Amino acid sequence: MTETVERNNRIARNADRVGLGAMILASICLVALGAHWVSGPMVSVIVLVLVAVIVGVLVLAYTGGPEARRLLAPYGLLKPGMLWLALFFLAPVWSLLRISLSTKESRFSVNYNFSWAFENYTKAFSDFGKQFEHAFVYAAIATVLTILIGYPLAYVIAFRGGKYKNILLGLVVVPFFTSYLIRTIAWSTILADRGIVVRALNAVGLERLFEWMHIMDNGKLLNTPAAVIGGLTYNFLPFMLLPIYVSLEKIDTNLVNAAGDLYSSASRAFRKVVLPLSIPGVFAGTLLTFIPAAGDFVNAQFLGNPNTSMIGNSIQDQFLKQNNYPVASAMAAVLMVSIATLVLLYTRIFGTEDLA
């Protein structure tokens, strides 16, 4: 009797370790299920283990007293997210990496044989190098454009918006209540060869200038790289604007007054005070814009031409049309790793301690 109590106390005191262990075990179970590590009767065994782990932790929380519950609480709060990620992120990534190293017997076969087939990666690079380049160059240009457009807009709303602040922010966000696809298709109408923009440019005679700037191509605005970049810029603008707005909004206007009081002109006050304090917003906005833009395929599909395809288009094509899962997976893996590397580098160079 006393031994049982003693043992229970020990478990309760170490409830945090129990919680961590249970979370890891449950995650492994979910990845095993999601990534098809097991088959047949083993599936039921894994499911049983999963249920037992969760029930066990709940029992410990219920019987272990307040101390055990306090120790378990963080893991209890982490668990839903962790398990979600295990099932819907870790398991698919595992499958993706596995398929990227597999081969198929024929194009129409549904079975993959895992065979360390690195030629999928060679193929991804050799056949789709251009698309990778487009993805990163277009996304980078679009990101810079969203900063150039978004920063002044956010600045005006944050510092000069007054009582109209919320209305102005609303106006920025409202178009995004419409579907992403619809908005992009709408742009293809706007930029069409006989659409309003091209006709206006022709009427004013600006098409020469636009041709010279490589924005227009043989009198066309639609189906050019510029249209794809424009679409990306338009679609990701709020993801740049909102974080910048938040960081500008937080700046105490007295800091600007103080800079003025200390003999700084308005432009020096901006450079030395406002800009450095809003950099975390620009940083966050850049990540929120560049990452999805690099993987985007909608804009290139509706606003571009076959020569402006981005890697997202190729991945979609290989997966859904060519049914070539191994090469598609290899491309997706390369995209993921390159973006992760770029983001890490970017964080190292420009990252601020506020974000770390």
Partner 1 sequence: MGESASDVIVLDHVSKRYGDFVAVHDANFSIGSGEFFAMLGPSGCGKTTTLKMIAGFEQPTSGRVLLDGVDVSDVPPYKRNVNTVFQQYALFPHMTVFDNVAFGPRSKKVDESKIKTSVMEMLEIVRLSEFAKRKPSQLSGGQQQRVALARALVNYPSALLLDEPLAALDLKLREAMQIELKRIQREVGISFIFVTHDQGEALTMSDRIAVMSQGHVEQIGTPQEIYRSPASLFVAGFIGSANLLPGTVKSHEGNDVVVALKSGSTIRVAGQAQAHSVGAPVSVMLRPERLRPSNQADGTGQSLQGTLTDLVFQGATARMIVRLSDGTELTCLADSSARMPQMQVGTSMNVSWDVDGGYVLAGWPDKAGSTSTDVDHIESTL
- Residues making contact with partner 1 (CB under 8 A): 252, 254-255, 257-265, 268, 272-273, 276-277
User: Smaller CB distance to partner 1: residue 39 or 267?
Assistant: 267
Give me the least distance between CB of 283 and partner 1, in Å please: 14
Q: How far is the CB of 241 from partner 1 (least distance, A)?
A: 22
Contacts (Cβ under 8 Å, ≥6 apart) of 266:
260
Dist. CA 312–CA 168, nearest whole Å: 33
* Residue nearer to partner 1 on the CB measure, 197 or 258: 258
User: Of 159 and 210, which has the nearer Cβ to partner 1?
Assistant: 159
Compare residues 225 and 281 and give the one whose CB is closer to partner 1.
Answer: 281
Residue 250 and residue 205: Cα distance in Å, rounded?
Answer: 45
Task: State the CB neighbour count (10 A cutoff) for residue 327.
Answer: 24
Cβ 31 vs Cβ 84: under 8 Å: no
- What minimum distance in Å lies between the beta carbon of 263 and partner 1? 4
CB of 262 to partner 1, least distance (A): 4
- Closer Cβ to partner 1, 13 or 272, answer by number: 272
Closer CB to partner 1, 8 or 264, in the complex: 264
Nearest distance in Å: CB 247, partner 1? 12
Q: What is the DSSP letter of 163?
A: G
Pick the closer one to partner 1 by CB: 127 or 354. Answer: 354
- Minimal distance, residue 276 CB to partner 1, in Å: 5
243-269 burial, b if ≥16 CB within 10 A, otherwise e? bbbbbbbeeeeeebeebeeeebeeeeb
Cα separation, 38 vs 94, whole angstroms:
14
Distance in Å, CB of 268 to partner 1, minimum: 6
Alpha helices in the chain (DSSP H): 2-13, 15-34, 41-63, 65-85, 91-100, 119-160, 165-173, 180-190, 196-204, 207-212, 225-249, 253-261, 266-269, 275-294, 298-303, 311-316, 325-350
Of 14 and 264, the one with the shorter C-beta distance to partner 1 is 264
Q: Which amino acid appears at position 303 of this protein?
A: L
Q: How far is the CB of 154 from partner 1 (least distance, A)?
A: 19
Handedness of CA 158, 166, 238, 213 (dihedral sign): negative
Q: Which amino acid makes up residue 270?
A: F
Residue 309, classed as helix, strand or coil, is coil
Distance in angstroms (rounded) separating the CA atoms of residues 96 and 164: 48
Q: Which is nearer to partner 1, 212 or 263 (CB)?
A: 263
**Residues 6 or more apart from 226 whose CB is under 8 A from it?**
214, 215, 216
Q: Least distance to partner 1 from the beta carbon of 67, Å? A: 34
**Closest alpha carbon to 20 in 85, 91, 72:** 72
